[in-house]
Structure 1
């Protein structure tokens, strides 16, 4: 079975954009919990840091993650298709 690399890349980009928006929403609603969780995920104590969330930052981060995820999704599908 071959994957359509462009469609897979677009699906990855959209998935990451949605995940980014959900994560940003969690940071807005539960900043303390998300800070603790982020520190646990990084194996660091970042509890003294704070979130600096802006609409512009959320938008730029979403676009950046979507572009990177789209390219990686396309690359994964392209490599997969070469291996099949």
Structure 2
């Protein structure tokens, strides 16, 4: 079964963009909880650290995560489709 690499890459980019927006909202609304959760995710203690979220970083992160995740999944799908042939 072949997949449309462009559509799958675009869908991935959209979902990663939405996830970035939601994560940024959580950082704004509950910075302490998000810092603690981030520390647990990477097995670290981030108690002495703080967030630095500004508009430039928000948009750069949004575009970067969306574009690279979309390209990555596009490449995986294109490779998968070629391996089927």
TM bin, normalised by shorter chain, reads over 0.9
Q: Give the match for residue 28 of structure 1.
A: 28
Q: Distance in 2 between matches of 1:34 and 1:72?
A: 27
TM-score (norm 2): 0.94
Which secondary structure state, in structure 2, belongs to the residue aligned with residue 47 of structure 1? coil
Measured after TM superposition, the shift of residue 73 of structure 1 is 1.1
RMSD: 0.8
Deviation, 1:83, is 2.6
Counterpart of 2:8? Answer: 8
Query: Partner of 1:3: helix, strand, or coil?
Result: coil
Structure 1, gaps ≥5 residues long? none
The aligned counterpart of 1:60 is 60
Give the structure-1-normalised TM-score.
0.95
Corresponding residue SS for 2:48: coil
Task: Kindly report structure 1 stretches of 4+ aligned residues shifted beyond 3 Å.
Answer: none
| Count of aligned pairs between the two proteins | 84
- Inter-partner Cα distance in structure 2 for 1:70 and 1:56: 21
3-state SS of 1:50 partner: coil
